[in-house]
Amino acid sequence: MDTEKDNTKNTEKTETGENSQAVDVTEGARVPGEKTAVSFSANGGTRSVGVEFREELFSHDSAQYDHELARFCAEFAMLGYGLMRTGEDVPGETYQPENALDICGFEDVVSVRDTAVDEENYFIARRKISAEEGEYTLVFAGYIGSYVGQWYTNFDSGRGLMHLGFADAADFAYTGLRRYLEKLNADRRRVKLLLIGHSRGGAVASLVAARLIRDEIFALPENIFAYTFASPNPTRHADRSDPKYSRIFNIINKEDFVTKCMPREWGYGRYGVTLAFPEKDRSSRYNTLLSKVRGHFDAFYGAKYMPFRYGPKTVDRLFETITGTLKSVDDFYDVGLRSQGEKLSMQTYFTRTLCGLVGEPAGSKVPDAARNYMLGTFINRYASCAELKAVASFFVLYEGIGSATTGKISDTYFSYAHLAHTYCAYMLALDGDSLVRVDPPEVAGTPEEE
């Protein structure tokens, strides 16, 4: 979701992890055993995060979850949004994550940006690493969240077993990675792959990783590492929970609307293992965690992180309302719902409102029309059905659409729950044992793999 536009190079303070202690480091100066600050732009200011590459993170079978590796991935998932920058380069400034990749010893960097609605922004780089059994080439691929019009394909799943928008983007991303690996022409037994992504990029990373694991063409499965953050549900394939995909780790915030699209009640899910942040409660343990998260989030985004007042319940209720009426993806496209006197499908409503708000380039008049239509659903409550009123109310009250909340309540719950900055803040604040495994439910009517 993030669409931060520019990134600058600077000398900054960076946080070093769980204790949120700031240390003075000069960007680009490599200090063994210490993190190096990388500057980036976010929320109108210059921020920084510390990065450090450690070869030992890749010394085990990829099916073993590694929290330090996951933290490294979360940092790059956040830095990856530097690829979103558009327009001419500014002298003296550098794109991210290229600078961070250089700091971590990667070379032959390929960055693909400004992609079409059915494609995907990404970076690929490589470096040599050493292990007990010899030297490997590590290829690192990072997939970025939605870029302008790609929001429209996020809500165009199609009716097949694979989410159409994500599958098209994954095909594009896989082709780029395949060409990179073919050019490398390395022995697959001496290649390790690391794939990461946030939001739409998380869905793409998981689909590409699943294909690489199935094919075993470019690397052995035990050497394919995949960590995603805030990934939506991209597949209805029945084999997505097969143990062979257990080396794909999907990390989610249960308060994040995006991680519940498309609904699991319609048979959707993710390849691999899903791990969730601890839910909000009134315990002192949670309050301590929240304090740490806020410290990191302020450093990364320059604002106070606000979780939903009732934790995941607010988002869960919205999806219960939607799936209580719409029982399948066919209903998502076909059932007519009433909004301001007209009938339209839920898919059309999301396309006209949310996608119109965030999926248009600068200067477009579509966001104003989208905002007004959503506000109309919210205000004309007796002329709209319960399902669309629930959607409109969610975005008006919890994202401040149309400034209807007039600043009286926090209106950034939706975006704050989803930002890559939030996920990185949580990963640095948490230890690995605090993540909760989310087992996929047995969903009636989940289609078998064709």
> pLDDT digits over 187-231, tens only?
999 999 999 999 999 999 999 999 999 999 999 999 999 999 999
In 163-247, alpha helices (H): 164-184, 200-215
Categorize the per-residue pLDDT at 1 as very low, low, confident or very high, splitting at 50, 70 and 90. Answer: very low
Q: What is the mean pLDDT of the chain?
A: 87
Asked whether 198 and 228 are in contact (CB, 8 A), the reply is yes
Q: Which residues contact 18 (CB under 8 A, 6 or more apart)?
A: 292, 428, 429, 430, 431
In Å, how far are 265, 269, 351, 370, 440 from 443, measured between CA atoms?
6, 10, 27, 34, 9
Confidence of residue 74 (pLDDT cuts 50, 70, 90): very high
Q: Which residues pair with 279 in a beta bridge?
A: none
pLDDT digits (tens, 9 = 90+) for 384-411: 999 999 999 999 999 877 554 444 444 6
Mean pLDDT of 292-303: 96
How confident is residue 269, by pLDDT bands cut at 50, 70 and 90?
very high
Give CA torsion, residues 238, 243, 249, 251, to 10 deg: 50
Highest CATH level, class, for 65-283+425-438 = alpha beta
Find out whether 26 and 37 touch, Cβ atoms under 8 Å: yes
Q: What is 297-349 written as a DSSP string? A: HHHHHSS-----TTTTHHHHHHHHHHHHH--SHHHHHH--EEETTEEE-HHHH
DSSP symbols for 152-183: HHHT---SSSB-HHHHHHHHHHHHHHHHHHHH
Q: Is 311 exposed, middle or buried (0-12, 13-18, 19+ CB in 10 A)?
A: middle
Q: What is the pLDDT of residue 24?
A: 28
CA–CA separation, 66 vs 227, rounded Å?
10
For the chain, how many residues are written?
450
pLDDT in tens, 93-108: 445 688 899 999 999 9
Q: Is residue 282 very low, low, confident or very high in pLDDT (cuts 50, 70, 90)?
A: confident
- Give the C-alpha separation, 103 to 105, whole Å: 6
pLDDT for residue 131 = 86
3-state secondary structure of 130: strand
Q: Is the pLDDT of residue 291 over 90?
A: yes
Average pLDDT of the segment spanning 284-288: 93
Long-range contacts formed by 378-384: CB under 8 A, 24+ apart: 378/402, 378/404, 380/340, 383/338, 383/339, 383/340, 383/341, 384/338, 384/339, 384/340
What pLDDT digit, counting tens, does each position of 322-373 carry? Answer: 999 999 999 999 999 999 989 999 999 999 999 999 999 989 999 999 999 9
Structure tokens given for 297: 């989030």
Question: What is the pTM for the complete model shown?
Answer: 0.89
Residue 67 has pLDDT above 60, yes or no: yes
Domain boundaries, given as residue ranges, for the chain: 65-283+425-438, 313-411
**Candidate from 23-27, 59-63, 355-359, 385-389 with smallest mean pLDDT:** 23-27
